Structure 1
Amino acid sequence: MKFLRQVLESFRFAWQALRSNITRTTLSLLGVTVGIFAIVAVFTIVDSLERNIKESMSFIGDKVVYIQKWPWGFGNGEYAWWRYFQWPEPSYNEYKFLYDNLNSASAVAIIDFKGNTTVKNGSNSLNALIQGISYEYNEISDVPVVDGRYFSPVETEAGRQVAIIGADVAEALFPNQSPVGKEFKLAGNRFVVVGVQEKKGESLVEFGGNPDTKCFIPYGAFAKLFQSGRPSPDIVAKGYEADEGLLELEAEVTGLLRTKRGLKPRNESNFSINRPEAAAQAISGLFAVLTLAGWVIGSFSILVGGFGIANIMFVSVKERTNLIGIQKSLGAKNYFILFQFLFEAIMLSLVGGGVGILLVFLLSFMPFGSLKVVMLPENILLGLGVSSVIGVLSGIVPAMLAARLDPVIAIRAK
């Protein structure tokens, strides 16, 4: 109990010392403030960027593989485009073959895109991204329909001229009314709206296009309108949760498609099986570099701030040497003196770190276009933790010197 009282008394002494030298205290904590601001700001922006990009990637689905002509390249060695160029595009017949024979897939879909296509309703028009999909697409990627419904199996199999439109398309073509059941024109053909997607809003990066300006139509209808030339669809298969790493699915797709294309064992596969995890790993690697840069930038400022605090603590010890002698002559223990100066250094560093965190918090309210900056609790704890460590490292040596002073010599000091 006595020890606790002395610790609290040391804390009170440290607080009084900081309050009595406001100007010096303020100048001392600036270095720590700048350092913590740099680290927490970089971490917050990097986390916000990563979350925004990964949310934008959600359209490609979870636990899925894409069967495509071109492999996704993320800087891992040479990209042999001249070899991939000769490979055939996936076909609708191959999709049907995989759909009928895959046992390791919970869903299989075929998709294709056509960008910058005008959709019209009377005098209203908009350039939209048209996406042809098969029925099981909504089991692979989220299609949040808020008005109307999703396609029926009959509509997708027959390639009927129905559509699920994005929120911006709905607002442009059918202002102030529900589009469900109404017609619009696409490539000179009439399509009936059966559903409207939930509005997503702006995003920093849009993988696969902005859902708000997208038009989903059955793949059969898409093929009739836009695949008069060479089609280039993608086949997507979704694995089961028990298939860790999708190894079973990838192996079965490889075996079936090689059989379908008549490839002999000595022939290499002439198709690519792409996995979203590769894109996620590439993004994580990029943000790891940015995070390291934030540490390096912030560390220099914190180092300067730490030296500043240590310098002030040495000055404080010299100024209060006489007081230290009086306290020790009255029976103050060494740890009581040590805690006074150590707490003063920690409090100084924590105040500086707190100001830096506050600045980042205020920064999160500023508009950054489509990037929504959110300050996570772990970044706040990181800033306070780094501040505490800097305070301990900066104050431990001056505090130990103060605690070891001889009371007789200290009382005589001027």
Structure 2
Amino acid sequence: MDPPPIFISTEPAMLLMVEGKPVLAPIDKSSLKFVVNTNWDILFDEAAGSYYLLSGDVWMTAKDIAGPWELATSVPAALEQLPDDDTWQHVKQALPWAPRKGMVIPKVKYSDKPAELITFKGEPVWEKIEGTRLSWANNTESDVFQEEGGDVYFLVSGRWFKTPKLGEAWTYAGNDLPEDFKQIPEDGPEGDVLASVPGTDEAEDAVILASVPTEAVVNIKQAEAKAAVAYNGDPSFKPIEGTQMTYASNTASDVIQNGGKYYLCQDAVWFVSDTANGPWKVCKDVPEAIYSIPPSSPVYRVTYVNVEDEDDDDGEVTCSYTAGYFGAFVAGLALGDCLVWGTGYYYPPYVGWWGHYPAYYPYHYSYGCAATYNRWTGGYAVGERVYGPYASAGRAAWYNPETGRYGRAAHVEGPYGG
């Protein structure tokens, strides 16, 4: 398994992720455009040919989105005329703008795909873990360890990566983690990582919790009334690797074509139709082929949704789902099972156009959000401080030109969503 790009910084830094080239969308009644496919507030002033990035309450500017970024001495007057709605509330709170004397901006680490950032407060400070050959870095919010005379280890999204030395290439380490990791004290500052150490009780507990299905009794008529799919233009389908099935690529919905039928998984309920546009009827018998969809497919998560029972007399159907539907998967490793965040695959987003307006539909991220397991909540939480106010681009932003709607939201994921 390939690691994501992993950046290291010993000074204040932030990770700017843009999935591919910037996707610019217009703002109603404004001369400015905003970058849809990123984890930060970035606006583009065409007249000046400049980007403006908001980090906290500090504005930075650059001619190229990849940088270099510098402190903005001024910002476009058009920012003051942004719409008065929740989308731009965070931005308008940072106005008016006047840089303060001596203000220092963070280093901007740029990536055109999901990445991770380890920020140390100065050079790494290693603290010995008693009874082991391990030390942990106590001046970073990331989970970083060093084996005596050996490699440096980094845990993110439930997966371990290692490098001979910080600054050198990382490799996957999930199948050959040193035994000393099992001896990390449960009540110590790094006790949470035990849930990601194969063979520990904590890892087993996390797997068991994530494997417990949640059942819901669904009113068939009400569910069918809400079932709908919005495509960007005519429905477009792509092959699902290793199968005879295809999936709809130009929609935010999970639609799968199999054997002349179309199957929609919406809110953990299955629907079926003779056409890609519906009408949709609750599906009471999901084809077995759908459960062979591989993790390399962006619609893999639907394999964690099942139909348990249906009662025609009551007009209800019982559906169930487990943690995989919301992004937490059980990974079988050589030393035991662990709960990880995401499949480990990167699914490039769909970017299309509706006239002069972009349509942007991202898929679930494995990386790019500093996902860590919280043993007290039994779920994964995503980072925000250096990753942006929306935590990650892939889970946080969407734009639909057909409806004119755009949204962002930071979030926390439990075993069954956030």
Q: TM-score range with shorter-chain normalisation?
A: under 0.3
Question: Which of 1 and 2 has greater Rg?
Answer: 1
TM-score (norm 2): 0.22
Q: Greater share of strand residues, 1 or 2? A: 2
Higher relative contact order (CA 8 A, sep 6+): 1
